[in-house]
Chains A and B, each alone.
Chain A
Amino acid sequence: DAGVIQSPRHEVTEMGQEVTLRCKPISGHNSLFWYRQTMMRGLELLIYFNNNVPIDDSGMPEDRFSAKMPNASFSTLKIQPSEPRDSAVYFCASSPDLGGYTFGSGTRLTVV
């Protein structure tokens, strides 16, 4: 089992550009979560999916952020247009129902 796979590991982009983060959850896990981690705000839940359906996106900061899960093995988090304040580490995690979460290694996003 390769765990939760995120790509890219690092992303540096200019303000205004579109950024797409990718995640492959663990096979058989029916819940997928996107978190953002910053020094100031800690770990924040952005959105989560259950059986590929978005359940709660109340943590998405604003309309510039969108997430999709077209199938059970793939999810994307898109920021368009990106801003410097979006700089953070973005984590994807997956979980079976009510179990512990398995996190990916994260994507460190820097918007300059």
Chain B
Amino acid sequence: SQQGEEDPQALSIQEGENATMNCSYKTSINNLQWYRQNSGRGLVHLILIRSNEREKHSGRLRVTLDTSKKSSSLLITASRAADTASYFCATFGNEKLTFGTGTRLTIIP
């Protein structure tokens, strides 16, 4: 069963713009992670935020976590064509990682 729901399901933006994806989940978590998946490939871990953290940065990525609202957001700044991929949030709880439905991001050159 899927824990997280990403919003939007699909997003198309111009290269150079910022992309924001949201994730909502249902149960308590230990941490929340974001992954990227290029077409036909495996998932690549991007960033992990712990339940006691509110914001985390990694390069052009910024993740926020609001445990009171059970939601997280992933911001990609200054998007590039190479950022085109599907992005998944995943919640870690009860010793296992459960993935959301994903957001398909398309960067238009």
Q: Does B43 contact A (CB under 8 A)?
A: yes
A98 CB contact (under 8 Å) in B42, B44, B92: B92
Q: Which of B1-51 contact A (CB under 8 A)?
A: 1-2, 30-31, 33, 35, 41-45, 48
Which DSSP category, helix, strand, loop or mixed, fits chain A's interface? strand
Given known pairs A42-B2, A106-B42, the reply for A100 and B48 (CB within 8 Å) is yes
Bound CA–CA A35/B2 (angstroms): 12
Chain B residue contacts of A42, Cβ below 8 A: 2, 99-102
Q: List 24 A-B residue pairs with CB atoms under 8 Å apart, sorted by A's residue number.
A: A43-B43, A43-B88, A43-B99, A45-B97, A48-B96, A50-B95, A56-B95, A56-B96, A93-B43, A100-B33, A100-B45, A100-B48, A101-B33, A101-B35, A101-B43, A101-B90, A101-B97, A102-B45, A103-B35, A103-B42, A103-B43, A103-B44, A104-B42, A106-B42
Residues in B lying within 8 Å of A, measured CB to CB: 1-2, 30-31, 33, 35, 41-45, 48, 88, 90, 92, 95-102
Residues in A lying within 8 Å of B, measured CB to CB: 4, 33, 35, 42-45, 48, 50, 55-56, 91, 93, 95, 98-106
